[in-house]
């Protein structure tokens, strides 16, 4: 009976540590996976046609999202900065980041009814 109690405690502690580790990684994954380079507009534009690097724009996405794209930026300014999006509708645009961590990712940028940036996020497909 004592062995079962100890095994239960060990399992509970292991599960708690695993949960904390997973959620810590989940909260920091964008910075870890997509934060290797500062945004460079020329590299961003050239990356559309490259096949040499699977995660073609991913390395710049975090810097772009955190330091360049500001709330309230007009949609036209985003298009001038980033070029033609991979997908576009009335409320959002998406730019292909490539295959990062074995999954295709995109940078989704959302706009309000006045075509002003309200938020952005890195999505996986």
Q: What are phi and psi of 116, to 5 degrees?
A: -110, 140
Residue 115 covered by a domain: yes
What are the angstrom distances between the C-alpha of 86 and each of 25, 60, 94? Answer: 28, 17, 6
Domain containing 97 — which CATH number? 3.30.1450
Residue 1 covered by a domain: no
What are the angstrom distances between the C-alpha of 40 and each of 7, 45, 63, 103? Answer: 53, 9, 10, 23
Quote the tokens at residue 47: 């990356």
Look up the pTM and report it. 0.73
106: left (phi over 0), alpha (psi -120 to 50) or beta: beta
Q: Tell me how many domains the chain contains.
A: 1
Residue 89 covered by a domain: yes
- pLDDT tens for each residue of the chain, 125 residues long: 787 888 888 899 999 889 888 777 666 666 666 667 889 999 898 876 666 667 888 888 888 988 999 999 999 999 999 999 999 999 999 999 888 878 888 999 999 999 999 999 988 87
Question: What is the extent of the structural domain holding 69?
Answer: 35-124
């Amino acid at each position: 009976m004592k062995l079962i109690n100890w095994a239960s405690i060990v399992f509970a502690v292991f599960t708690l540590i695993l949960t904390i580790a997973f959620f810590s990684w989940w909260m920091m994954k964008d910075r870890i996976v997509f934060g290797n380079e500062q945004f460079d507009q020329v590299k961003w534009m050239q990356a559309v046609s490259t096949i040499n690097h699977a995660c073609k724009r991913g390395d710049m996405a975090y810097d772009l999202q955190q330091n360049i794209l500001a709330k309230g930026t007009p949609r036209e300014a985003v298009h001038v900065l980033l070029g033609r999006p991979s997908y576009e509708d009335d409320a959002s645009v998406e730019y292909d980041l490539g295959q990062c961590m074995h999954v295709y990712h995109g940078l989704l940028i959302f706009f309000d009814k006045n075509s002003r940036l309200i938020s952005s996020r890195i999505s996986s497909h």
